[in-house]
Amino acid sequence: MSDTPVRPPDRFLVFGAPLIGEAEIDEVVASLRSGWLGTGPKVARFESDFSAYVGAPFVAAVGSCTAALHLSLLALRLEPGAEVITAALTFCATVNAIIHAGATPVLADVDPVTMNLDPESVAAAVTPRTRAILPVHFAGRPCDMDALDELCRRHGLALVEDCAHAIETTYHGRHAGTFGDFGCFSFYVTKNVVTGEGGMVAARDEAHVARIKRLALHGMTADAWKRFSDEGYRHYLVSEAGFKYNMMDLQAALGLHQLARVEETWRRREEVWRRYQEELADLPFDLPADPEPGTRHAYHLYTVLVDEGRAGLTRDDVLGAMTRENIGVGVHYLAIPEHPFYQETYGWRPEEWPRATAIGRRTISLPLSARLTDADVDDVVAALRKVSTRRPGPA
């Protein structure tokens, strides 16, 4: 077998590289030329476009999904000792936001097929101190919102949705992020809509969003961002100690045009996702389940599970081999209880969440971006085929 990699090193396929159009570039340049880079009219337009797209009446643009989660949980005014249940298979930001809001994170296991929060595992984790459930719509596949909603009602719990992967996701005709008290979205560089860094909170309560906007800008009174505008200097008053979590016009300039193309880029990712489903079917990997009826998958991630028995390779062998083929790959995610901080702080052990742990040890994410050409997808498929038919040699 040839040792020539499927792609040459100078054409390394960067995982999650965003598709940035001329409209975004022109809008950013226009912002730069205008002299108004910070929070301003473009953020306001982005908020109103986003609110219309997901069908959420009240939204606040912030600096990241991490900020959106932190502020949403703060807006719940959780008392010390309050518990928030989330998935053992998620990005660390989900859990860290709970901690920074002064609450105690409690993990529930995920379903082995959907990789989403398992309602039975959530039900078993509810205690008299539970105040909220924080589901993550993993990879863009919606969680079982009927079951989670029912649990929230039965126990009087708040619902905060982590929609970092789920801008286009719907469940029984409703957009992810509109089921709970808060939906938190990400516009990080690898996400479905990109602003560089950026996030959005969608909320059903107007007062919550007003407080989140205030907390996102130092706790200053509404519209304080206008204090240096062409209306002349305006005083502001601080009503509580807030954060610096606002979004800039420079970021919204990207987001406005990314959002205008959100359906087009979703369709492209769907095509790539389907090609992977067909063309990888005979390889020694467990492929993702098709979307459930009545739902819309956002196709944010395409993750396969390495079947060590069939492949004769570990997940890390595959990661290394794909990198040598000059294909960028990812891991979403090593389960939360694998990380030393949580083990030391909460005494968590991976075996307590066996399904999240097993996925985290076997999973590998292939490139899935609207920027991929058909030839790029050919290369990913060819590389995975080559890797999985070769046994690891000596180091």
Ligand X SMILES: Cc1ncc(COP(=O)(O)O)c(C=O)c1O
User: How many amino acids of this chain bind ligand X (CB under 6 A)?
Assistant: 14
Query: Please, which residue, 64 or 170, has the CB nearer to ligand X?
Result: 64
Q: What stretches of 129-241 adopt beta strand conformation (E)?
A: 130-134, 158-162, 170-171, 174-175, 182-186, 199-203
Amino acid residing at 244: K
191 assigned to active site: yes
Task: Name 378's Cβ contacts closer than 8 Å, sequence gap at least 6.
Answer: none
The residue whose two tokens read 């040890």 is 361
Site string for ligand X, 178-197 (x = CB under 6 A): --------x-x---------
Residues of this chain, 123-142, that bind ligand X according to CB under 6 A: 136
Amino acid residing at 382: A
Query: Please, which residue, 369 or 388, has the CB nearer to ligand X?
Result: 369
Burial of 204-239, coded b for 16+ CB within 10 Å and e otherwise, reads: eeeebbebbbbbbbbbbeeebbeeeeeeeeeebeee
> What is the nearest approach in angstroms of ligand X to the Cβ of residue 71?
12
Query: Please, which residue, 136 or 259, has the CB nearer to ligand X?
Result: 136
> What is the nearest approach in angstroms of ligand X to the Cβ of residue 187?
7
d(CA 309, CA 284): 9
Distances (CA, A) of 287 to 107, 115, 180: 25, 12, 30
Q: Could you tell me which residues are beta bridge partners of residue 365?
A: 303, 330
d(CA 366, CA 120): 30
Query: Which residue blocks in the chain are alpha helix, DSSP H?
Result: 22-34, 41-54, 65-75, 92-100, 119-125, 145-155, 206-216, 249-260, 262-279, 308-311, 315-324, 340-346, 354-362, 374-388
Query: According to CB under 6 A, which one of 94, 130, 169, 369 is a site residue for ligand X?
Result: 94
Residues 89 and 111 sit within 8 Å (Cβ to Cβ): no
> What is the nearest approach in angstroms of ligand X to the Cβ of residue 289?
19
> What is the nearest approach in angstroms of ligand X to the Cβ of residue 150?
23
Query: According to CB under 6 A, which one of 66, 246, 357, 388 is a site residue for ligand X?
Result: 66
Residues 198 and 187 sit within 8 Å (Cβ to Cβ): yes
84 binds ligand X (CB under 6 A): no
Query: Please, which residue, 101 or 381, has the CB nearer to ligand X?
Result: 101
Residues of this chain, 139-178, that bind ligand X according to CB under 6 A: 162, 164-165
Query: According to CB under 6 A, which one of 6, 54, 65, 283 is a site residue for ligand X?
Result: 65
> What is the nearest approach in angstroms of ligand X to the Cβ of residue 110?
12
Residues of this chain, 302-331, that bind ligand X according to CB under 6 A: none
> What is the nearest approach in angstroms of ligand X to the Cβ of residue 165?
6
Query: Please, which residue, 183 or 284, has the CB nearer to ligand X?
Result: 183
User: Sheet of 363-366: strands edge to edge?
Assistant: 285-286, 302-306, 363-366
93 binds ligand X (CB under 6 A): yes
> What is the nearest approach in angstroms of ligand X to the Cβ of residue 209?
18
d(CA 188, CA 65): 8
Query: Please, which residue, 165 or 175, has the CB nearer to ligand X?
Result: 165
Query: Please, which residue, 83 or 162, has the CB nearer to ligand X?
Result: 162
91 binds ligand X (CB under 6 A): yes
Say if residue 281 is exposed, middle or buried (CB neighbours under 10 Å; 0-12, 13-18, 19+).
exposed
86 binds ligand X (CB under 6 A): no
The active-site residue out of 191, 213, 244, 386 is 191
Instruction: Output the six-digit token pair for 248.
Output: 């800039």
199 binds ligand X (CB under 6 A): yes
Catalytic residue IDs: 191
Residues found near ligand X in the complex (CB under 6 A): 64-66, 90-91, 93-94, 136, 162, 164-165, 186, 188, 199
